[in-house]
Amino acid sequence: MTEDKFYGISIWDIAEFWIKTYPEDIFVNGPYPFPEIRELFKELLKLRKK
């Protein structure tokens, strides 16, 4: 088991899923930081490509 794997799901899988599932213009009623999380996952995927 590698460092970035947890039960067969990697952080990269979660990041890609989040970006595909929640569009940039999503509005959620409440204090949920969806846009901020999306930006963090985008940065994470950029690091993976390097």
Predicted confidence pLDDT, tens digits, the chain (50 residues): 455 555 778 888 888 888 888 777 766 666 677 778 888 989 998 988 77
Radius of gyration, CA atoms only, the chain: 12
Q: Residue 7 burial (CB < 10 Å; 0-12/13-18/19+)?
A: exposed
Domain residue limits at 20:
5-49
Domain count across the chain: 1
pTM above 0.75, yes or no: no
Query: How high is the pLDDT of residue 30?
Result: 66
What is the spatial distance between Cα 48 and Cα 27, in angstroms, rounded to a whole number? Answer: 28
